[in-house]
Chain A
Amino acid sequence: MDVKLVNPFINATINVLETMAFMNVNAGKPYLKMDSMAVGDVSGLLGLTGIANGTIAVTFEEKCILTIVSNMFGETMSELNDEIGDAVGELTNMISGQARRELEGMGKVFKAAIPSVITGKNHSIVHYSEGPKIAIPFNTDDGDFTIEVCFE
């Protein structure tokens, strides 16, 4: 897997969360994820095809996503429900779009599928390709989330 594919997803994640949810987001050190257990309580998963095939996932701790969506809507969200799931799907979609824009500038063109969302404690994230899973943890003042990037 070309590690140059990862940075655009980090930049896109920061941009999307800062613009749409007015959050200060700090990226931690990327690591190789060996298992499929989600770090968070709700995850968005999206397939990408192009010069390589793969998936990105964004998985949020409950407190973190409730704060993010509360900020996006301008009203307090207090439980993981269909509205939160829908928001996770749209956030995943926006992160993908922003990252693909930066990747295009590097001469790497990708198309995206429609995201799917998985909710619940201890759920699994199954990537579509067999490549290594690079996880990037992020922290905010209101909890953590992680993105996973996996390309063949």
Chain B
Amino acid sequence: MDTSIKILIVDDFATMRRILKNILKQLGFKNLVEADDGTTAWEVLEGQGIDLVISDWNMPKMTGLELLKKVRASDTYKTVPFLMVTAEAQKQNVIEAVQAGVSNYVVKPFTAEAISDKLEKILK
């Protein structure tokens, strides 16, 4: 995996951003930025060169699904890999995310190995 890429972590809970940052740092990723909702994430995406988005689903202002749809509808960012990390694990959620173009999906709670496996699949 190319660990020099810039990863945007989006979650309204600072706890989850911190856990994901710890895991990503352990995997060798150093170029990490954060946002606490979809709206802020979109601003970060437009302002910086982001190579991968890791996003929660349920967030205020703009949900992870809405962010994903906006990314996929954008000429500039539509190919950016998008990993959904969410507690929303019902079938309909997964179907909606796949239809919207999610690159992969991790259900909370998760292990560091689960994140690593999904990233390897996305970034290979």
List chain B residues, Cβ under 8 A from A86: 13-15
Cβ A97 vs Cβ B111 within 8 A: no
> Which A residue sits closest to B22, measured CB to CB?
A74
Known: A86-B13, A90-B13, A114-B58. A73 touches B87 (CB 8 A): no
Known: A73-B22, A86-B15. A97 touches B108 (CB 8 A): yes
Cβ A97 vs Cβ B107 within 8 A: yes
* Chain A at the B interface: SS class: helix
Cβ B90 vs Cβ A73 within 8 A: no
Interface: B89 (CB within 8 A): yes
Tell which of A15-23, A24-32, A53-61, A131-139 binds the partner.
Answer: A15-23
Cβ B60 vs Cβ A114 within 8 A: yes
- Number of A positions contacting B (CB below 8 A): 24
List chain A residues, Cβ under 8 A from B15: 69, 72, 83, 86-87, 89-90
In whole angstroms, how far apart are the Cα atoms of A86 and B19 in the complex?
12
- Number of B positions contacting A (CB below 8 A): 21
Cβ B87 vs Cβ A97 within 8 A: yes
Interface: B47 (CB within 8 A): no
Cβ B109 vs Cβ A94 within 8 A: yes
The count of A-to-B residue pairs whose CB atoms sit within 8 angstroms is 59
Q: Please report which residues of chain A, range 91-109, place their CB below 8 angstroms from some CB of chain B when the two chains form the complex.
A: 93-94, 96-98, 100-101, 104, 109
Cβ A19 vs Cβ B90 within 8 A: no
Q: Please report which residues of chain A, range 114-140, place their CB below 8 angstroms from some CB of chain B when the two chains form the complex.
A: 114
In whole angstroms, how far apart are the Cα atoms of A23 and B15 in the complex?
17
- Cβ distance A140 to chain B, nearest Cβ, rounded Å: 16
In whole angstroms, how far apart are the Cα atoms of A93 and B88 in the complex?
9
In whole angstroms, how far apart are the Cα atoms of A100 and B58 in the complex?
15
Cβ A90 vs Cβ B89 within 8 A: no
Cβ B19 vs Cβ A73 within 8 A: yes
List chain A residues, Cβ under 8 A from B55: none
Interface: B91 (CB within 8 A): yes
- Cβ distance B43 to chain A, nearest Cβ, rounded Å: 22
Question: Which 4 pairs across A and B sit closest by C-beta, in order of nearness?
Answer: A97-B87, A19-B109, A101-B89, A90-B13
Residues of chain B at the chain A interface (Cβ within 8 Å): 12-16, 18-19, 22, 58, 60, 86-91, 107-111
A-B contact pairs, 7 of them (CB 8 A): A86-B15, A90-B13, A93-B13, A93-B108, A97-B87, A97-B89, A98-B109
